[in-house]
Amino acid sequence: MANMNIGTPRFYPDLLNYLMSRGVAQNGNFDVTATNASNKFMGTFTTGSEAELFDMNPLNKCTFDTSADTDGHVLITIDTQSTTFKKSYIAILNHNLVSSVGKIRVFAGNESSDITALNGGNADTADIAWANDTMVEVVNGDTTTAAADDKDVVIEPATDGSTIIRFAENTLRYWAIQFEGNTTNTGVAENGTWGSTDFFVGSIMIGEYFDMPHAPDLELTRMISYNRLNDLQESHGGQRFSNLKSFGRTATSTSKSPFTTASNGYDMYGGRIIYDMSFSFLNNTEIMPDEYDILAADDNFVSDVWNMTNGNHLPFIFSIDKDSEGDNAESEHIFGRFANNSLDMTQVAPEIYNIKLTVEEEF
């Protein structure tokens, strides 16, 4: 049950933007399959572009003409470059899958051919069998169903907005996210059709989430800030006036900032949430990798979070309580970034450190 209580934080950094920040090209690696009538693929955008699916700007919508091609499929193929990188979540931000009558199909593998066929037809269950790999709803992924042949899994959100699904950690290199029609809630069936409203999506993320070893110190600060949203000025006579540039998140009937469930501006809370936290008595291995000369598979804060976001360069999804999942879990999640541009580690005992982190909501 969502309650805004502070527990053990969780970070969801985006692997795709990390790779692009380190020189990997979007085109040719993170792609929308070109229009192909025989395979029912639709790769033409009504608004937006392929690159904008991965621009970390969820309010920048990419729209497909699904109302005119009701049995079309939008297939997004992802090459994560190697089997070094772990994956344990997928996030679809600012979508209208309920209004457009759609669903999400996911499949993966270690060969590039595993992700190129409609409905995961080429996927290999030797790489992953979805019935054995439990999908967990973090936010707005109410129904997850593995296909009978175990080659793919279907996710059906309950509302328009943002969806996060997590799963058992793996290192599969190739991933596919397929959006398709879902008339009458067809589930894993492949014969669903889209509705009369065109499908859109704001941003796609995939990567490995990281749970902090324990909750932050009690003396943390949670703020609701308007410090970048209004411009307070004072006249020579002492009269003060302000220009409200933004009240924070955006919500309309057709677009929502991540983890907003309202459909208009007056039904939502304003300001930007900021968490200023300290974590005491962390083991050195919980913060730093054993070796710092090449990226390793160690699970620690630097490897899994700080390096993946390039400090405060890339936004990420943040949960203040890793145990808040399922219905109404939006309140514990923000789309934010680090405010600090350095990770200061203070040794307080042999191989024991304290760190401080500030996470600010975007927008």
Tens-digit pLDDT string for the chain (363 aa): 457 899 999 999 999 999 999 999 999 999 999 999 888 999 999 999 999 999 999 999 999 999 999 999 999 999 999 999 999 999 999 999 999 999 999 999 999 999 999 999 999 999 999 988 788 999 999 999 999 899 999 999 999 999 999 999 999 999 999 999 999 777 788 778 999 999 999 999 999 999 999 999 999 999 999 887 778 888 888 888 888 888 889 999 999 999 999 999 999 999 999 999 999 999 999 999 999 998 888 899 999 999 999 999 999 999 999 999 999 999 999 999 999 999 999 999 999 999 999 999 998
Question: pTM for the complete prediction?
Answer: 0.95
Question: What is the extent of the structural domain holding 354?
Answer: 221-361
Residues 169 and 285 in one domain: no
In degrees rounded to 5, what are phi and psi of residue 221? -120, 130
Give domain status of residue 215, yes or no: no
Residues 171 and 58 in one domain: yes
* In contact, 196 and 98? CB cutoff 8 Å: no
Domains of the chain: total: 2
Residues 206 and 226 in one domain: no
Residues 232 and 306 in one domain: yes
Q: What share of the chain is helix, strand, coil (3-state, %, to 5)?
A: 10, 35, 55
Residue with tokens 């979007």: 26
Q: Cα(194)–Cα(176) distance, rounded to whole angstroms?
A: 20
Residues 24 and 155 in one domain: yes
Q: Cα(296)–Cα(276) distance, rounded to whole angstroms?
A: 29
Q: Cα(336)–Cα(60) distance, rounded to whole angstroms?
A: 16
Structure tokens at 285: 């291995």
Give domain status of residue 41, yes or no: yes
The domain boundary residue, chosen from 177, 210, 243: 210
The domain boundary residue, chosen from 187, 210, 233: 210
CATH value at residue 87: 2.60.120.260
Residues 313 and 233 in one domain: yes
Residues 98 and 202 in one domain: yes
The domain boundary residue, chosen from 210, 236, 258: 210
Residues 129 and 258 in one domain: no
Structure tokens at 144: 């997850």
Q: What is the 3-state secondary structure (H, E, C) of 74-86?
A: EEEEEECCCCCCC
Structure tokens at 189: 């069936």
In three-state secondary structure terms, 151 is coil
Residues 201 and 225 in one domain: no
